[in-house]
Amino acid sequence: MNKLAFHTMILAFCCGMMAPALAQEQKAAAAAPAPAPAAETVCFESRKGASEVTKRDLQPGWPNVKCSPKTGAVLWWGDPFDGTVPMGKMPLLDKIPEGHAVIKPRTEKLALMPMCGVSCHNGIGPKFSPPTLPKGRKPAPVPTMEAMVPDLKDLQHGRGRIWCLDCHHTTKRNMLVDHFGDPVSFDQPQLLCGKCHGDKLRDWRDGIHGKRIGEWASTGKKRWFTCTECHNPHNVQDGARNRGFVQIAPEAPPQLPRGMKDAKYERVHGIAH
């Protein structure tokens, strides 16, 4: 047997020995479960259950928000205008340049909104003449409704002096209502809340009450937080505590994302809107 034939036999023998092992490895790799996707981080902006936001990267290493590991609240915004829309017309705010006052719409976060005006309410409200409103204008318990919105069972707003249709439109249940009976969007609850809380509306409008984020200059673009982003309208008294808004304990300022040397980006906002 010459040398070439001998080496060929050795090579064939080695390949024959390795083939089953490689096939077994490929079979095991195919059978191995795919790695589980990373769990989403969801934190809240001002009130748990009202303004949750899912953490994601706007750019590599630049998250849209930083969440508190202690409370789950947002501590830092990478882009304060992410997901916002123009606030719309507000009395005495007509001097703000177009698009400089923005809000984050809430209607898209209300799970019952798409069906409440068609599946449960047919657009026909209680008749006022002759009156068919509940006796004493106190709503009758509706178990299905209370199951969907538990706060309704023990409404903590107005100390027993208001009822559903003081805030919700009579026939358009996916809208709120102003003093004239005109519908108000859920994205502009301040137009409703100001009916009774005029002083708070004035303070909110002047920047004394509430929260805004965005550009530092007084004439700069800002995101305004609306009333229901901070207050639960069905439990604004906070039950037995009876002291209104539950304040969140302040935390230490968060560290900037890795690689960001300072907060100069806040002056210019590198993300176009």
Mean pLDDT across the chain: 81
Tokens of 168: 């919700």
Exposure string of 6-23, with b = 16+ CB inside 10 Å and e = fewer, is: eeeeeeeeeeeeeeeeee
Q: Decide: 113 and 186 in contact? Cβ < 8 Å.
A: yes
pLDDT at 160: 82
Query: In the chain, which ranges are continuous DSSP H helix?
Result: 3-31, 113-115, 143-148, 190-193, 198-206, 227-230, 265-268
pLDDT at 188: 94
Residue 243: pLDDT above 80? no
10 Å CB burial of residue 137 (0-12, 13-18, 19+) is middle
Residue 19: pLDDT above 70? no
Instruction: Give the integer Cα–Cα distance in Å for 130 and 155.
Output: 27
Residue spans of the domains in the chain: they are: 40-79, 83-230
Instruction: Give the integer Cα–Cα distance in Å for 22 and 26.
Output: 6
Instruction: Give the integer Cα–Cα distance in Å for 201 and 90.
Output: 11
pLDDT band at 61 (very low <50, low <70, confident <90, very high): confident
10 Å CB burial of residue 130 (0-12, 13-18, 19+) is exposed
pLDDT at 270: 52
Q: Is 214 helix (H, G, I), strand (E, B) or coil?
A: strand
Least confident of 12-21, 51-60, 92-101: 12-21
Instruction: Give the integer Cα–Cα distance in Å for 80 and 95.
Output: 22
User: Cβ neighbours of residue 271 under 8 Å, at least 6 residues apart?
Assistant: 58, 79, 81, 82
pLDDT digits (tens, 9 = 90+) for 33-46: 776 767 889 999 98
Helices (H) and strands (E) in the chain, counts: 7, 12
What is the Cα Rg of the chain in Å? 29
pLDDT digits (tens, 9 = 90+) for 172-221: 888 999 989 899 999 999 999 999 999 999 999 999 999 999 988 888 99
Mean pLDDT of 218-229: 92
Phi, psi at 20, each rounded to 5°: -60, -40
Mean pLDDT of 81-103: 91
Q: Which residue has the higher pLDDT, 71 or 139?
A: 71
pLDDT digits (tens, 9 = 90+) for 112-132: 776 776 667 767 776 666 656
pLDDT digits (tens, 9 = 90+) for 260-271: 777 776 665 556
Residue 145: pLDDT above 60? yes
Q: Is 195 helix (H, G, I), strand (E, B) or coil?
A: coil
Least confident of 49-53, 86-90, 102-106: 49-53
Residue 136: which region, alpha, beta or left (left: phi > 0; alpha: psi -120 to 50)?
left
pLDDT at 15: 56
